[in-house]
Amino acid sequence: MKTSITFISFIIFFLLFSSQLNSNRANQTNLDFTKDKIIRLDKPFVIPTYNVNDRQEDCKKIEEKIRNQEIILKAYQDMQLLEYADKNGLDYEEYDKAVDELAKWIKSGKPYEPNKLSNEQVENFFNSTTPSGDGSTTTLVMITRPEDGSIWAPDGTIGSDGYPVMAMIIDAHGNKTIEYSGIEQMYGNKYGNTVGKTFFESGIAHEKVHSEQFKNEGVNNSPGQHRRFEMAAYEKGIEVLKRKLEELECDKVLGSIEYNHKIDFDYEAFSQTVTITGSVPFKLEESAEGTQGKQKVKGKGTVNLSLIWTAEDCVGRSDSPGEIEFEGEIINENEEKFIDIKFDEKWYQNAELTVTCPEVTKSVPMKIPPPVKYENMKFKFKDGEKITRPFAGMGGNGNYSWTLHLVE
Ligand SMILES: [Zn+2]
């Protein structure tokens, strides 16, 4: 079994390192090795994992943003609004308000065909008295200053005038200012890390288009120029959102395997706990559909490998990523659906173990070859299905555990 290799490496490590420990603490006589210490250190880590349902939620939020922005783009594209504004000598703000109204109209699902609005509808959009925007003073809306092309965003506070306080995030030369990362973080706090970062980047992409437009052309406040500027900017912003959606593979992810392996090694002289936790998404393999009713799946992702090591009054720990790849197929047996997965887990890599003793702290490189290669792991095709394999022997004790999660 491969477990023995793992274990031997622990032993080798222990033997190598314990001689150093002993020499470092030769003047100490009291070996204060208590069980309490191990228990205290043995708390499970809280590791942020990106599970498949969080991912799916993020996908939905990004999709909704794309839908909304595409509607705004569509409203700008309508020529009738522009013609009306030009004919009546209106400025870009009056035009923009009508675009807003048309966007609301399309969003509400009312029938709309480009450039086929009645004259009455067009007039109504221009004469609407509903306030623009969503009426909130805290929405995260970025702006670009026409004077110098600098990009500004609300810093999350409201000024004495009741309006959001704006902070410059990109200066007139296109450089990020000190506020930049703070405001990006604010987006993360509001929408969650993945979505927040994506919305922020999309907003920046939109504003950067304006920044260039203002620098190259200046502004004349005409509806025609405003329309052209906004269309180009929305296209760029939407591009960023779509790229992220593709990266998340939102439409292909079927589910994930949640890892929860935990093995304790306990000896008189030292103790070690290895945990492997995280969530690895899998998706349907394209083009592999239809062979005898089997559908192949492929999983790929990163888990966290943690190691806590204690010896006498020294403790060491490391956290390192492990790359997981697996293959499987969905099978039907007696009208029941299963997913059969072949795990071949590789994370042969160096972990950096920081070992702390009363009088010395050391960083020690350590190879971790985890002992997992399992075939014929057949889960019922049902959310929450779990397979557990015990680990015992060599002084170690614990479980390997895999839980199937399906996209809701
Ligand atoms: Zn814009």
Residue 224: CA count within 13 A, CB half-sphere: 5
- Compute φ and ψ for 241, nearest 5 degrees: -65, -45
Expressed in angstroms and rounded, the spacing between residue 157 Cα and the centre of ligand 1 is 22
- State the chain's maximal CA–CA distance in angstroms: 95
The residue whose two tokens read 């922005």 is: 69
**Is residue 122 within 8 Å of residue 115, measured between CB atoms?**
no
Expressed in angstroms and rounded, the spacing between residue 205 Cα and the centre of ligand 1 is 10
CA distances from 319 to 46, 131, 366, 397 (A): 12, 52, 12, 20
- pLDDT given at position 173: 95
Residue 84: CA count within 13 A, CB half-sphere: 23
173 secondary structure, DSSP code: T
Expressed in angstroms and rounded, the spacing between residue 98 Cα and the centre of ligand 1 is 15
Expressed in angstroms and rounded, the spacing between residue 234 Cα and the centre of ligand 1 is 7
Closest of 361, 347, 366 to residue 2, by C-alpha: 347
Report the C-alpha gap between 272 and 187 in whole angstroms.
Answer: 40
Expressed in angstroms and rounded, the spacing between residue 108 Cα and the centre of ligand 1 is 22
- pLDDT given at position 131: 63
Closest of 270, 279, 390, 404 to residue 341, by C-alpha: 404
Report the C-alpha gap between 327 and 299 in whole angstroms.
Answer: 6
Residue segments in the chain with a per-residue pLDDT below the cut of 70:
1-50, 131-140, 286-294, 345-351, 366-372, 393-394
Report the C-alpha gap between 38 and 269 in whole angstroms.
Answer: 12
